[in-house]
Amino acid sequence: MAIIELRNVWKEYGADVVLERLTASVEEGEFVTIVGASGCGKTTFLKMLLGTEQPTRGEFLLDGKPIPDEPDATRGIVFQRYSVMPHLTAERNVMLAGELAANRWLGYAFGQRKRQLREEARAMLDQVGLGHASDKYPHELSGGMQQRLALAQALMKKPRILLLDEPFGALDPGIRKDMHQLVLNLWRTQQLTVFMITHDLEEGFYLGTRLWVFDKDRLDPQAPGAYGARITYDLPVGQDDKQTLKTITAQVDDTARALS
Amino acid sequence: MKKLINRQPGILGRCLLGLLPFVLILLVYQSASSARLAENPDDRLLPAFSTMAETVERLAFEPNRRTGEYVLWADTLASLKRLALGVGIAALAGLVFGIATGAIPYVRAGLSPVITGISLVPPMALLPILFIVFGLDELSKVMLIIIGITPFIIRDLQGRALEIPEEQLIKLQTLGANTWQIVLRLVLPQIMPRLINAVRLSLGSAWLFLIAAEAIAATEGLGYRIFLVRRYLSMDVILPYVVWITLLAFLIDFALRRYSQWRYPWFHASQR
């Protein structure tokens, strides 16, 4: 059964249609990369996946049931910024999920359980390449290291779905390459289902297994909110098709210009 | 030659420039005092530094002939006790209500308007009511401090709690946290350094309320002493007391700041 299923999903804010007629299904273990111009509902879609926004029409199903209408442990997330707790060291950030589960009232673990969580956290930090920084606070880490930490923190909860909201948007190109490798490795070893939003079309073109392009195929320049964005391309990733990339880039750029 | 806005004093220059106004004030006082004393040796308005030193020695290091107390220390202890009690309770109440109204929309909807309303009441106008209700004892002085600064602390912390990035609230939920855990593991630790900040900002008002309450009804305390000796124009007591209060205020502020920097390094790193 599909892990995520969209049946004619719409999202409207008053008279403005953000997304319309979304129909798709995603199997467990897929890595969906979502690209599109600003204002084409990528973030709105992510919020619906997360549960902070609800569709106004249609059905948005997780494992065949309506997706929960608030964030919970089934869906982990890494934002572009502010993903980790600034008041906790790297190690404590990664231990957080386990500590919250260990004690419903205090949210802290003690004794044997704490030692065990610390070992697990150390192992996870090693896996994302932060083994040497376990005692550092987030403000002492670089942007790339903070995102590694955010990934480690999210993965400790073993979410069914991992959401990445432009996680590498603020990073230098070289570091971005390393992060791609890391994400692909984690996706393979932890058998995750991943949705990643990105601004960078090329990133979407070779990362993951499936590319979604959000675009407005009907666009009234006098009333940009009249029609919503749809999934205009749903492509398997892997074939290196320069022509398709060019076409999509041109279309997304047109929409971006019309909306700005 | 660089423009004036681009020229920075060195470390020595900064210290000297900072000290200069203090030295000037002392010099001006010294000369005015000597001028008056030369004209009338019994003048009480601007006592000489030597007179003030004698008075301080008497108040601080000789027991009072009638009560056997060391007046300065007894006053200081009494005032600091009231201040600590008032500010401590206000900080605790501020923390609880600030977090509750900041983190939980239903509590905010219920309590925010009334807190805003109370914060607009001038606390000094309530002082007679406090004296009537709580009597002239310690309680009414402590209550004045509490009523005076709690609304400010609550409103400040509510604002700070609302500033916590939504990403972090969502993140914690995706890690499985319930509301109580979010308060305990995210809101409370992030609010603590801000509470210290709010307390530092409200200490000035707390001293104001303390001295005002002591001036009206007390039997000991720094504010009480100042207003008592005012009747005898004892500037030799008043001036050292004012300096002493200022020094205490500075030391408390300094200690709170250093504690916060030591305990919450991540907070001060983000403030820069």
The predicted complex's ipTM stands at 0.89
Residue B12 counted as domain residue: no
CA distance B55 to B238: 10
Residue B122 lies in a domain: yes
Query: Pick from A82, A86, A104: which is nearest to B178 by CB?
Result: A104
A positions 85-114 inside 8 Å of B (CB): 85-88, 96-97, 99-101, 104-108
A66: distance to nearest CA of chain B, Å? 17
- String of b and e for B75-108 (b: at least 16 CB within 10 Å)? bbebbeebbebbbebbbebbbebbbbbbbbeeeb
Alpha-carbon gap, residue A212 to A196, rounded angstroms: 10
Q: Nearest to residue B215, comparing CAs of B119, B144, B132?
A: B144
Instruction: Write down the H helix ranges in chain A.
Output: 42-50, 90-102, 111-127, 143-155, 173-190, 201-206, 242-259
**B16 is a domain residue:** no
Domain count, chain B: 1
B171, A100: Cβ pair inside 8 Å?
A: no
Note whether residue B195 is domain-resident: yes
- Taking residues A208-233, report their average pLDDT: 82
* Residue at B21 is within a domain: no
Chain-centre distance of CA A216, in angstroms? 21
Radius of gyration of chain A (CA): 19
**B172 at interface of A, judged by CB pairs closer than 8 A:** yes
Q: Which residues pair with A61 in a beta bridge?
A: A5, A66
The Cα A130–Cα A7 span in angstroms is: 41
Q: Which of A52, A53, A96 should be substituted to probe chain B, the one whose Cβ sees the most B Cβ atoms within 10 Å?
A: A96
For residue A196, the distance in angstroms to the closest alpha carbon of chain B comes to 16
Q: How do residues B33-78 score in pLDDT, each as one tens digit?
A: 999 999 998 888 899 999 999 999 999 888 888 888 889 999 999 9
Q: CB of B130 within 8 Å of any CB in chain A? A: no
Residue A11 CA to residue A218 CA, distance in Å, equals: 16
Q: Do B176 and A137 touch (CB under 8 A)?
A: no
Give CA–CA dist B27/B17, Å, rounded.
16
Alpha helices (H) in A156-241, listed in sequence order? 173-190, 201-206
Summarize pLDDT for A37-74 with one digit per residue, the tens.
887 888 899 999 999 999 999 999 998 899 999 999 99
How buried is residue B2: exposed, middle or buried, by Cβ count under 10 Å (0-12/13-18/19+)? exposed
Is B1 within the bounds of a domain?
no
In a domain, B264, yes or no: yes
Contact A87 B266 (CB under 8 A): yes
Which residue among B167, B168, B270 sits closest to A139, beta carbon to beta carbon? B270
**pLDDT top residue among B61 and B24:** B24
The string of DSSP letters for A45-65 reads HHHHHHTSS--SEEEEEETTE
pLDDT tens for A169-205 read 878 888 888 888 888 888 888 888 999 998 888 787 7
Q: Measured between alpha carbons, how far is B93 from B156 in angstroms, rounded to an integer?
A: 12
By Cβ distance, the residue of B170, B176, B189 closest to A73 is B176
Size of interface A-B (CB pairs under 8 A): 86
In a domain, B72, yes or no: yes
Q: Do B177 and A100 touch (CB under 8 A)?
A: yes
Confidence (pLDDT) at B272: 63
Rounded (10°) CA dihedral A115, A117, A119, A124: -170
Q: What percent of chain B has pLDDT over 90?
A: 79
- In this structure, the number of other CB atoms found within 10 A of the CB of residue A246 comes to 11
- Whether B271 and chain A come into contact, CB under 8 Å, resolves to no
Give the CA distances from residue A206 to residues A42, A46, A238, A241, B195, in Å, rounded to whole numbers and listed in that order. Answer: 19, 21, 6, 10, 48
> B170–A50: do the CB atoms touch at under 8 Å?
yes
In angstroms, the separation between the Cα of residue B61 and the nearest Cα of chain A is: 47
The CATH number for B127's domain is: 1.10.3720.10
Selecting from B168, B181, B269 the residue whose C-beta is nearest the C-beta of A85 gives B168
For B98, the token pair is 């600030």
Instruction: Decide if pLDDT at A150 tops 70.
Output: yes
Mean pLDDT (whole number) for A195-220: 84
| Residue B106 belongs to domain spanning | 61-271
Answer yes or no: are the C-beta atoms of A221 and A11 closer than 8 Å: no
Q: Kindly list the residues from chain B whose CB atom is less than 8 angstroms away from the CB atom of residue A106.
A: 184
Q: What is the mean pLDDT of residues B133-150?
A: 90
